[in-house]
Every structure is written in structure tokens, then in C-alpha cells.
Amino acid sequence: MPADPARPQPAQLNPVLPPVPDIVRSAYATLVVTDLAEARRFWVDLLGFVVTAEEPAALYLRGYDELTHHNLILRAGPVAAAGALGFRVRSPLDLDRAVDYYKALGCRTQRLPAGAVRGLGEIVRAEDPLGFLVDLFASAEHPERLQQRYDLRRGAEVARLDHFNICVPDVPRAYDYYAGLGFGLSETIEDERCVYAAWMYRKQTVHDVAFTGGAGPRLHHLGFFAHEAHSVLRMCDILGSLSLEAHIERGPGRHGVSNAFYVYLRDPDGHRMEIYTSDYYTGDPDHPVLRWSVLDPRRRDFWGNAVIPSWYSDASAVLDLDGAVRPVTDLAQAAEVTVGADGFTAKNPAAPQQGPQQAPR
């Protein structure tokens, strides 16, 4: 029987490649920010991230549920950009596998000793085939557990990192690469012509990584989990009270894809983050894929609210292994923003009044 692409496969899918590293979850990201003090005001003072560690040029932040050292590194630098996307792997053996795997793919790869990234054990850092830096690690320090320190919670009461959303010029190619790493497919946006976006997971949620069709490689956003829809609303209220409402880019609302309640904010450098809550369990071995028609006005906002154009166009540059900003390749397929039926329904006479049914295939 052929492998079910919707299901995480621990074993390799491509027999020509060495065994794949067993990725557990998306775990952290690094953002280069141009003014660390300003970034701290946004991420720590307003959003309420916990500071695990602090250096003159970097902050290591985590959510209140995170039991490892960090979910986000803010590093001061001359140009705003995204550094590595960090994935937890199951064991040190998976680091050896990662080296062989990325070498077989022809990707530049480095092994960094424990502590090279503060709070983490040894790291395999690679420039992946999609052009993103990835950090794979198998061990991390466990700082003080703050889950039940309700007295400390502030801002959006962020719990942990939930997912990476990346801009890629060729969504099926990104799908193939992550399917090869054993990621399951939870949802798509598509039509008979192409797949415009896809959501894939290793942990048992809707996603660890999602693809937005666009010039890439670029980081579209970091999604952070909160426990309560109220946290999303409260964060918006706080920003309004402080006349900082310009940080709110899209939402709050209910996603069609994932069913999560959400808001997107832009940080002082324009990096996009999402506060995301109440998606669903995907861990059954026969978990069915949900395929949304690109013409369904509910797919990106279940209430049919417009997605503003900046959400489709803007994203963060990404760095290569040498710390240089990577050039991007333009979108190689049809653009959802011109086909899709959300805020642009009026421009799209083909859009139905009510979305077609998306029965899982």
C-alpha cells in the first residue's frame, strides 16, 4: 500500500535518501531586530513573553507553558530578518541522521556544539532545500516551570510556539520536502489548477509548518499558542488602550483552515506574529485531510472578513548560513490573492455566494 501522505511517517519516504531525522515539533525561531529595546517593549512588556535569559544583544523568550529554554530568540542586528527555524528531534541519533540527510539533499550543514545556542544541546544547522535555515536539537535546558504562576501572566498569556508559516514560490515542492521528513498533511487551500497553501504537522495539532504561496524563501509569521480566545481579545484591547492599534494587522477572527481563533500582529520591525488558540487533534493514523476551495470566502476567515493585502504580500527576509540575507524567487504559480474569494470577492465574479462544501477527500 502506498504511504498515506496525510500521516507522519517515522520512516523515510524516499528510498534513495538516508533515514530521516525524527522531528518532534516546531520549537523556536530567531528574529533579528534592529532595536532590541523596542522589540523588548513589544514582545515582553506588551505581549507578556517570559525572559529566560538576557545578553547585551539578545533576548531568549518563552511562553508560560514552555518547559524548555526558549521559543523565540530576539537578536539585535543591522537588518530585520529571520534566522533559523528550530525543530526538536527525538534523540541525539536523529542529529547524526540529520547531517547525513541534509548532505544527501546537497544542503550546506553545520554541527554546533552544546551551548552554541544558549540553553540548547548540540545543534545541526542546515540550509534546507527551500532556502530556510533550520536548527535541529535533541536536548534543552529546563528552566523554572511557570505553568501555574498565574500571578506572573501578562499580555496575551502566550503558552508556547505553535507553528512556522513560510512563504514559498512553489507550494507543492514545499509539501514534498516536508512530506519526505514525515510531516502529515492536515488542510489545504486549492482548486483544480493548484494548491495555494498547505498545513503540515509532526505534533498532534493542525500544524508545525504551513506554506503561503509567495516570493520566497521568506518567513510569513510565527504562530504562538494561547489557551483562551479571550487572550486574543484582551491583547487587542491592550493595544487599543495604548494607541498601539497599528500593530494589529488582521483579525481578530476565526480561521476557516484550522478552526483556530486568531489575531496577527506586526512587531516594531514588521515581523508578523499570530496569537492562535483552539485548533484540533490530528494524531489518529488515518487523520483525514480537509481541502478548502480557494473560492470559499470562509477558508481564511470563517466569518468571511477580508484578508488585507499586506497579509499576502509582506513577509520577513531570511538569513543564510553566513548571516547574509537570502535573495528570493518570485511566486511560480497562480497567486491566491488574485483567485481567492475572501476580501476580494467583489473582484471575483466566479466566487459563489456561499462556499462550496469541503468534504475531506
Question: How many residues of this chain bind ligand 4SX (CB under 6 A)?
Answer: 12
Q: Is 223 in the site for Fe ion (CB under 5 A)?
A: yes
How many whole angstroms separate alpha carbon 183 and alpha carbon 185? Answer: 7
Helix (H, G, I), strand (E, B) or coil at 56: coil
**Whole-number Cα distances in Å, 360 to 18, 99, 186, 195, 257:** 33, 37, 10, 15, 12
Please write down the HEC assignment for all residues of 91-118. CHHHHHHHHHHHHHCCCCEEEECCCCCC
Q: Which of Fe ion, ligand 4SX, none does 257 bind, CB closer than 5 to 8 A by kind?
A: ligand 4SX
Stretch 177-216: interaction string toward Fe ion, x if CB under 5 A = ----------------------------------------
Nearest to 112 by CA among 136, 76, 147: 136
Strands 160-168 and 209-213, bridge-based pairing: parallel
Q: With respect to ligand 4SX, which residue has the nearer C-beta, 86 or 256?
A: 256
Q: Phi first, then psi: what are they for 277, rounded to 5°?
A: -150, 150
Among 300, 315, 319, 341, binds ligand 4SX (CB under 6 A): 300
Query: Does position 223 bind ligand 4SX by CB under 6 A?
Result: yes
| Pattern 256-295, ligand 4SX, x by CB under 6 A | xxx-x-------------x-x-------------------
The b-or-e profile of 162-190 (16+ CB within 10 A means b, else e) is bbbbbbbbbbeebbebbbbbbbbbbbbbb
Residues numbered 146-205 forming contacts with ligand 4SX, rule: CB under 6 A? 163, 165
| Residue 146 vs 206, nearer CB to Fe ion | 206
Which part of the chain contacts Fe ion (CB under 5 A), choosing from 37-45, 124-132, 223-231, 331-339?
223-231
| CB of 223 vs ligand 4SX, minimal distance in Å | 5
- Binding residue count for Fe ion, defined by CB under 5 A: 3
Contact 49, 62 (CB under 8 A): yes
Q: Shortest Cβ distance from residue 339 to ligand 4SX (Å)?
A: 14
* Residues 229, 220, 10, 123, CA torsion sign: negative
Instruction: Select the span of 30-38, 234-242, 253-261, 316-324 touching ligand 4SX (CB under 6 A).
Output: 253-261
Asked if 336 is part of the footprint of ligand 4SX (rule: CB under 6 A), the reply reads no
- Which of the listed partners (ligand 4SX, Fe ion, none) does 258 bind, with a CB threshold of 5 to 8 Å by partner kind? ligand 4SX
Half-sphere exposure of 254 (CA within 13 A, CB side): 8
**Pairing verdict, β 123-127 and 58-62:** unpaired
Applying CB under 5 A, does 251 fall inside the site for Fe ion?
no
Interface residues with Fe ion (CB under 5 A)?
Answer: 165, 223, 274
